[in-house]
Each structure stands twice: as structure tokens, then as C-alpha cells.
Chains A and B, each alone.
Chain A
Amino acid sequence: MKTKTLMASLATTTALFTAPALAQDCPVKVGVLHSLSGTMAISETTLKDTVLMLVEQQNAKGGLLGCEIEAVVVDPASDWPLFAEKARELLTVSEVDVIFGSWTSVSRKSALPVLEELNGLMFYPVQYEGEESSKNVFYTGAAPNQQAIPAVDYFLEELGVESFALLGTDYVYPRTTNNILDAYLKSKGIADEDIFVNYTPFGHSDWATIVSDVVALGASGKQVGVISTINGDANVGFYKELAAQGVDAADIPVVAFSVGEEELSGLDTAPLVGHLAAWNYFQSADTEINAEFVEAWKAYAGDERVTNDPMEAHYIGFNMWVNAVTEAGTTDVDAVREAMWGQEYPNLTGGTAVMNANHHLSKPVLIGEIRDDGQFDIISQTAEVPGDAWTDHLPESAPLKSDWKELGCGMYNTETGTCVQMTSNY
């Protein structure tokens, strides 16, 4: 009996939600699909706050299309199936006009079928492994050619690294990125035996042997460099072990793709000075608009909070969406998508980001050295690099191309001249 009443009450609450949403266009609704609990809450809560801040700022400027913007926040709780469930809820029950959300690839791939089925629109703000281009997603984070490849080029050209250790957490982003890097390094003449690969579980803490293995690579007489796709908490133990074994950045530089200002705040960075990270944004970028952004963030979220790359991605994505909606004069997904192509917005680090027809951004690539205050010294900043949905460095992906504007296809095979698939295969 108890179950029945509970279910019934749940049913009525949902029913109440469904009814009035159809009535009018105002307010414009923005869905936020970031985990607020569970393992990913650490990273994603910040992004939820970022979107809320951006909504608040936009409302202060007079809203959108004469409407107030309303944020609808749900918590998928770091539980991947819940991303699909909550995305469906956002699109059908709350009837949001756009979703900002996801962090891990698997959570994005969980939400994708729902987005494509219901023709939703999502902005995905995190650097990822590429090999995807959905009609219903705009990728504002870096594709491998906007982060991994430039970082490896920096290793090859500027640091003269000849022997590579690719260390990663065992999940899709490191696996695919390392695959791409492996192919890329070989095309640059690095031999197989000079590429050491290791995968560790999430939250790994016993790094002694792995760091010794990396140090031992130096015996080949080649300059050793570490490319780290280690994720989250595990970095703490990894960097502590590096410091304990006295691995100097000048001897064995480590470049990380998942370590930003946020992650360094759990560490004493003094022994890590000089190690590197590659991103499209660092808080230390010395520009007028970045100073404003950082200030607004600290005022909104607290003085001790730092900004990071995915936050900039949401900043660009949100503002582009606002401009696209204004241009289209409607929040209708198809109209907004067309208005998004070619949309431009200034980067926080200088220059202008452009949304390409493959739904990826053109952004500059930055390489930073860790400072002892937990921030980064930007030592290299490229011109804007267009994000590449399908990498050129893997044989299966090289002939693939995404162009929603001209070809209307996210996975177009240029060799056979056919569209491989319209909806993603998740």
C-alpha cells in the first residue's frame, strides 16, 4: 500500500510539472545537467555555478528575447544512466530550450541518444577524445588536436623529448587520446620502444613503481617526457610521488591534460614548479576580460575559488548561444543550430573563438608551467586552432569529416562520399 501511495504522489508531482509548460514561451529555460553528488561532483558543481552566474548576468542585462532566463538544475549524481533519464526529464517535463552539461564522455554518450531522439541541444564544455560530432551537441571543450597534439609538438620541438611515457587513468579519454598520440608520435619518427604506456584505475594511489619505471627510461640516453591523462584525485598521489622521488621538471617534464587550477588546490605545488599543463584557458591569462570574469566569479562563488578551462568553455558556449538565439529570434533548436555556425565570441585569453560547422570551436592552445602558488605561467599560446571532430592521425578516422552546414552530416566519409551515420552511434 505504501509503495502505491508514494508512486501515486510521484505521479501527481510529475503531472503538475507537465501541464503549464506548454502555455507560453517565457521564461526561456536553460537546463543544467551537471552532477552535484557522487565522484564527479568535485568538478561539475563548479560548472553548475558558472552557468547560474552566466544566467544571472544575462538577466541583469535584460534577459533574452524579452524573457527572463530560468535555470533548471537537476542532479544526475555521477550515475551515467541517470544522465539519460535526467536529460529526458529536462527536455520533456521541464521543456528546456538548451542544456549545459556533462563532464565525462560516458555521461555525454549516455545523454546523446535522448538528445538526438527529442532534438534537444546541449553544450558540452570539457576537453574530450573527439571521434564524435552530433547534430544536437556543441563541443566547446578541446578536441585532441586542440590540446594533446600541440602539447606533444611542444615536447618534441621545444623540449626535445625523444622518449615518451603516456600515463593515464583507464577510461575512454586517455585510451583514445593515447591511441591518437601513439599514431602521431610514430609518424614523427618515435620508435615503438620509446613509447611507454601505463593505465591505472580511478583514484589510484600507489605510484612508486610507475614513477620509478619512468625514471628508468632515462637510461636509454634519450630525453624523457611524461604525457599524463591521469584523472582527478589520483593526480595527488602521482605528483606527491614525483616530488618524493625528486623528479625535476627540467629532467623529466610532465604535461597533464586533466590538471587545472582546481586540481592543484589539493596539493602543495612547490615541488612541482615547472611541470606543465595544456589547456585553452588559464586563470593567469593577463587580459582585461579575464580579469573581469575572475572578479565576477569570486564575487559570485567566493574569494578562494579559482577559474578553469571548462568554465571558460561554458562562458563562450553560453554567450554564443545567447547571441545565436537573439539572431534567430527564437529558441527553436533547428533555427538556433543554424545561427550557431560561424558564431564568434571573444576568448578570455585574447582572440576570438569561432563555432565551426563541425560543432567544434576554434580556440587558441595554451601551455602553462605550474607556479608555486598553484597557478600557471603561460609560456606558449598559439593562434586559434579549429577543433577537429575526427582525428587525422588514426587510419579509420582520417577520411571522416563532419560538416553540418554544407554536408548535413556528422560522420561523412570523404573517400566514398557517403554519410556514414546521421545520428551518433554512441
Chain B
Amino acid sequence: MATDINAPVDNSDPPAASGYPGGGYAVSTDNSSRRKLYSRLFYLLCVLISGLSVVVLGVLLVSIGWQGHSRLTWDLLQNSHSELNPESSGMWPSIIGSVFICGICAASALPLGIGTAIFLEEFKPASKPLRMLHSFIQLNISNLAGVPSIVYGLLGLSLFVFMFNVFGRIQVNESSGTELFGVSHYYQVLSLAGGGHTVLIPQEDESQKTIKIDEPTQAVSRDGETFELAIWDPASGQPKPSDPEVRKRTVRKGQGGGAYSETEWYYLRLPFGKSFLAAGLTLSLVILPIVIIASQEALRGVAPSLREASFGLGSTKWQTVRHVSLPAAMPGIMTGAILAMGRAIGEAAPILVVLGAAVAKNSGPQNLMDNVVTMPVLIFNWAGRQQAAYQELAAAAIIVLLAVLLLMNSAAIYLRQKMRVG
């Protein structure tokens, strides 16, 4: 199609303009040479302005490479952000964070998006009101694609982080919302062993944040075994136990302890709070319209004859979708999905809104409710600082981010090529 349109136009490029059939007539009037001049000038303008985008891209890549190449070391990939020591700051936690968030995002946006696309493309209703609903959904999706990502961020903040405060609010050291599973609450009490050795006492009343040990109770060691906690009362005149093993199971009478929670990786609570689960789900809202539109285009590209053949063999609508349309459209859908994930990895605004701007985190997420740092947020933080060292780090982190994107896009192109062969 593209080449069909271009073919005759290409032949009439200004250099070839002398080939006009009416050339003799045109030359004889004054205004024709002016018109040809305009045409040539316009062509020149087109070339210049189109070339501009190539130049801009070149300047962008060169300037960032120039600024960041000196920081592109293993330190950058292995270390975490440091306020005091920009020389050895790195982005390892942010890489892990981006991967986790994108995983959540893909797991929620892809099924939802592909399902919607199948519904819109394969199950077109016949009755009038349903058809109107259908086209309304379609219009709505195009509109969602135009909503600024930061508005999705605010939606994520209300919907996932606070859940409209239905389940209570999460406040540090006061309330952790409604906890579903994966967490056990303890009091942490110093034992006699010294060196900061502590024992854990199961918490019964969650509203009570501290405890005072006056009598022997059940306790749990750090290794998870339950034992009877002994009490040593200095006032009683008994000597302090000398055996280190006994000391580990004994606390001073009147010793206080604070609340302590131990979480498993599947720890889940409502609302989600500033967690990477909430961030991933928010991001899935951002890329959902992109996934839907790409999948729709892929499904539209499946030849109708394939479906008709399937119907002719007596398959039902769902069987046709499941075994004919969907496999045929799969390469296109996957290409669109990878491009959407590329968008998700580079997206900073919604994550900034949901997780906040803090970047001081030195590991990946420990459980589903843990906060993370992502690459774009880290870049934003570094780029906003005055020190030259952080500016260079930002450029180096951008190089890493662009490399990841390049990798993903190559995968998409590879899939597209493979689809053509198939």
C-alpha cells in the first residue's frame, strides 16, 4: 500500500521535475519557474526538517554518552544509592525494583488487555443497544490512552495505596491496615546474653505496642523454636545465671520490649500501602489501553478466511478464537506487549506518585508490601541534584535504562520478523 502511493510521487521529485508532460508550456510562462522554485524550496525544507529529528536524536545520545561514560562501571550496577558517597553510588536495587514492578504489571495488564481486545474484535454484538455499548467501550479506550500517566498515578494512590480508606489507614508505628496473611507479630525483648541478643514473645493484643516482662511466659527464639522464658530478678539476691545458653533464655525482671513483625514474602494487607504491588497495578492501568489497541490490531490482521474455515468445520465461536484467531495473532500481540512493557519500564510519573520520591533503599523488595525504587525514579532523583557526580550518575543510569529498552525492542523486532516468516 505504502509503496503504491509513493511510486508515482517519487518519480516527480523536483530533480526529476523536468519530466512534466507539459514542460514546454510551463516554461513559457513567468509564474511556472517561480512555482518550480517554490516546489524545490519546499522539498529542501522537508529534507532539512526531517533531518532535524535525526540530528536531535544524535545530539541526545552523544551528550548523554559523553556525560555518563565515566560512571559506567560495575559499581553502578552492583551498589545502591548513597547520600554521602556519590562516588560509589549504584543502581542495583532500582534494576531489581523495575523488574519486579514490570512483572506485576505484565501479569495483570496482559490478560486483561488481551481479553478486552478479543471481546471487542471477535464478539461483535448484533443488537443495537449492545452495539452502542461496544462502540462506547472502544471510544473510552482511545480516551484512556490519552489520559496523562500522572492521573493514573493519583488513581493508583487512591485505589491501591489507600483503597479509599475503607480498610483503615496505614500509619508508621500505629496501624498497618487490615492484615490478611504472611505476618506474625512479636515483642522483641533483650535477653541476658548481651550483645543485643533478643527473644521474641508472641503478641496477643495488637493495639498494645510495648510489653513489660514480669513473669515467665512462652517465647520464640530467632530460629523459630518455642521455649519457656525464665525471669531473673536482681532484687531477689539470686546470682545472675552464668551459662550462656541459660542467659539466652532469661530476661531481667521488668525488662521492656517493643513491637516487632516478621513477614513472609507473601505478606498481604489491605490497603496495599506504598508497596511495589500497588505500583505494578497502577502501571498496568497506564499500559492497559496500549495493550488493548495493539492486540486489537493484531486480531484484525488475522485473515477472515481462517475464521470462516474454522466455522465451516463446525467449531464454536470460542473454539475458533482459542485455536485459530488467537494463535494466528499471537506474534503481533506479543510484539505490542513488549513495546508496552518498554513504556512501563520508562514510566516515572505514576510510580513517583504511588511510591513517593524516596530512593534510599539498598535491596530489592522483601515481601509483596515492600517499597522499591525503580530506574526512572532514581534517574529523576539524581538528575534533580546539583552535584556534578550525581549528574554523571544520572547519565550513566540513563545509558543502562536505554540499553534495557534497546534489548526489549530488539526482542519485539525479532518477533515481528519471525511472524513474517511464519
Q: Decide if A and B are genuine partners.
A: no
